[in-house]
Amino acid sequence: AGDRVVTENPTYANALDALRHARLRTGSIAVSDTGWDMEIAESTLRQTAPRLAYVIPDFHNPTGALMPEEERLRLLAATRRTGTWLVVDETIADIALDVPAPAPLASLAPRGGADHVVTIGSLSKTHWGGLRVGWVRATAKMITELTAVRVCADMTGSVLDQLVALPLLHGMERTLPARLAELRSRRAALVDSLQRHTPEWSWRIPPGGLSLWVDLGEPVSSALSERAAAAGVHIGRGARFGVDPGTFEHRLRIPYTLPADRLDEGVRRLATAFHDGVPLPPSVDRPYWVA
């Protein structure tokens, strides 16, 4: 508790919650759908020497950005210099839709140069989220320490889930291409729906991952997601992914994981909520709102 950590901003909302729950102080590295500002990241790391940095270099959630190899090397070097644990979340790495799946970040380090890297991943994106099987790759010492901590939390992972996961992992070369093809077609369907229902919104098509980081053009995301929820559409408002409260109010994360007809109906309802004539109040109940 009280230690300084650094995450990307925006980042995976549940990771932010976990860090806050552990009462860690969160600094941030800016990332957008065009990528990371590595110079600022390096100076943030240099100036704050955080205990831990949490990053999602592969089809980053929520922006979809993919970190170039040269920046991965810089991140490895910068965190090594400051003695920072680099936690690399590769949960989305296999959802490579338009590019080859990136090599694990730790594999870029020279021999012995990735001792400070902890890589985490899971089966939730390649298979399904209800299968609670994930993994950690780190030094043997770190794994031993984590195993001891795990015993205090929930003892161990479900053996049944792991038995189910095994043939899924073995069959991945066969099943993954079909999953990726399905996601490509759902991404195209979402883009088509957005173009028809909300042409004033903008987005970049990410090279992989599961969602679009849509720019609404106005800071109304929280109000819109509340209104959409009343119409049966549950959607990640931008602020949910921000390190600081009330930021990213002009962004909405729209996943393309549903079948095309359901995506279209969802976007239609979102568009109705957005266009229904009553101006959306910019984040009414959020005192920290920043334009």
Ligand X SMILES: Cc1ncc(COP(=O)(O)O)c(C=O)c1O
- Return residues touching ligand X (CB under 6 A): 12, 56, 61, 89, 91-92, 122, 124, 129, 134
* Minimum gap (Å) between residue 282 Cβ and ligand X: 27
* Minimum gap (Å) between residue 93 Cβ and ligand X: 10
Nearest to 123 by CA among 138, 134, 111: 134
Start-to-end CA span in the chain (Å):
31
Decide whether 87 or 280 has the Cβ nearer to ligand X: 87
Decide whether 146 or 231 has the Cβ nearer to ligand X: 146
* Minimum gap (Å) between residue 254 Cβ and ligand X: 14
Decide whether 86 or 92 has the Cβ nearer to ligand X: 92
- What does the alpha-carbon distance between residue 159 and residue 72 come to, in Å, rounded to a whole number? 35
Decide whether 49 or 120 has the Cβ nearer to ligand X: 120
Decide whether 100 or 130 has the Cβ nearer to ligand X: 130
Contacts of 203 (CB under 8 A, 6+ apart): 33, 191, 194, 212, 213, 214, 215
- Give the angle subtended at the CA of 62 by the CAs of 61 and 65, to the nearest 5°: 70
The helix or strand, by DSSP H or E, that contains position 148, with its residue range, turns out to be helix 140-153
Name the token pair of 270: 């979102």
Name the token pair of 31: 């990332």
- What does the alpha-carbon distance between residue 283 and residue 247 come to, in Å, rounded to a whole number? 10
* Minimum gap (Å) between residue 91 Cβ and ligand X: 4
* Minimum gap (Å) between residue 189 Cβ and ligand X: 21
